Amino acid sequence: MDKEKKKQIIKLCVAIFILAVILVLVAAIMIRYQVEGDKNMPFNLSKIIIVSTAEGNEAEGKKKWNFDVLQNNDVYIYIDKNENYWGEEKIIKSVKLENINITKVPTKGEINIYMPNSVDGRLFDYSEEYLVQEGKLEYKGADKSNPQTLEIGSNGGNLVLSFSNTGLGTYSSDKDKEITHDGTLLKRLKVTNEEIQFDVNFDLVITVDNCSYRTNMTLQMPCGDITSEGTSSIEKTDFSDLVFKRE
């Protein structure tokens, strides 16, 4: 074999080796991305607060107290600017909750999902008008967060929705001198914490100027021992288990 052919074979082998190394590196990067997701987002999910309680809505009846009992779970989701982001400045165009599903249903009652009340007064009005439709809810980017208009601050803010168990029954009584509208109402219906536990799963999608970041999460509700405590809350700030991927 002459020297020229040997040179060509060596060049070909080197090229094949370099190509193989590149392919391995690309595969490793892709696998790492699938496992870890995007680590350089312009905005991060900073915390989620869940507040669980119960209340009674007046119902028809001849006794002194007549209440349809609802067990409510208000969920506050906070999106903050990533101070370590090294890319071009971005603003939030929208934050969406999609594919909202109750993956574990309670043994008592029925879960309905509500957006905030659009008029002044209470944050939530548990009526059909404010039901979240088709398992999705969208907050648009704006100057500042405003739940009543379904807006989130374009430089960071929060959104809120409520998961309510509306099928627990009616409490009627002539004996009670007063009624406290919180989780202790459930004891009057002989409902336990275990009977109202449920899980909700959804996609969280943060959309900035030219792309979106999506993750999937599951939340357990209600939090705490609300039948004894009345109102319970939990704050979650560790999201190391979530994987955000660019769309």
Question: 186 and 225: one domain?
Answer: yes
Nearest of 224, 178, 247, 206 to residue 52 by alpha carbon? 224
Question: 29 and 96: one domain?
Answer: no
pLDDT class of 38 with cuts at 50, 70, 90:
low
CA distances from 176 to 43, 96, 136, 173 (A): 50, 44, 41, 7
- Average pLDDT on 74-101 reads 94
Tell me if 143 sits within 8 A of 153, measured CB to CB: yes
Question: 7 and 83: one domain?
Answer: no
Please say whether the dihedral angle defined by the alpha carbons of residues 136, 141, 144 and 148, taken in this order, is positive or negative: negative
Question: 28 and 87: one domain?
Answer: no
Question: 20 and 113: one domain?
Answer: no
Question: 27 and 59: one domain?
Answer: no
Greater model confidence, 89 or 111: 111
Nearest of 130, 43, 50 to residue 94 by alpha carbon? 43
Q: Which residue type is seen at 75?
A: V
- State the average pLDDT for the chain: 88
Question: 9 and 120: one domain?
Answer: no
Residue span of the structural domain in which 29 resides: 1-36
Question: 98 and 206: one domain?
Answer: yes
Question: 86 and 162: one domain?
Answer: yes
What is the tens place of the pLDDT at every residue in 199-232?
A: 999 999 999 988 999 999 999 999 999 999 999 9
pLDDT at 33: 45
E strands, the chain, are 43-58, 65-81, 94-104, 111-114, 137-142, 151-153, 156-165, 170-173, 198-207, 212-221, 232-236, 245-246
Residue 35 has pLDDT above 70, yes or no: no
**Count of domains for the chain:** 2
Please say whether the dihedral angle defined by the alpha carbons of residues 77, 81, 87 and 91, taken in this order, is positive or negative: positive
Question: 113 and 31: one domain?
Answer: no
What is the tens place of the pLDDT at every residue in 58-83?
A: 778 778 888 899 999 999 999 999 99
Question: 135 and 209: one domain?
Answer: yes
Q: What global pTM score does this model have?
A: 0.85
Question: 48 and 31: one domain?
Answer: no
pLDDT at 171: 84
pLDDT at 77: 98
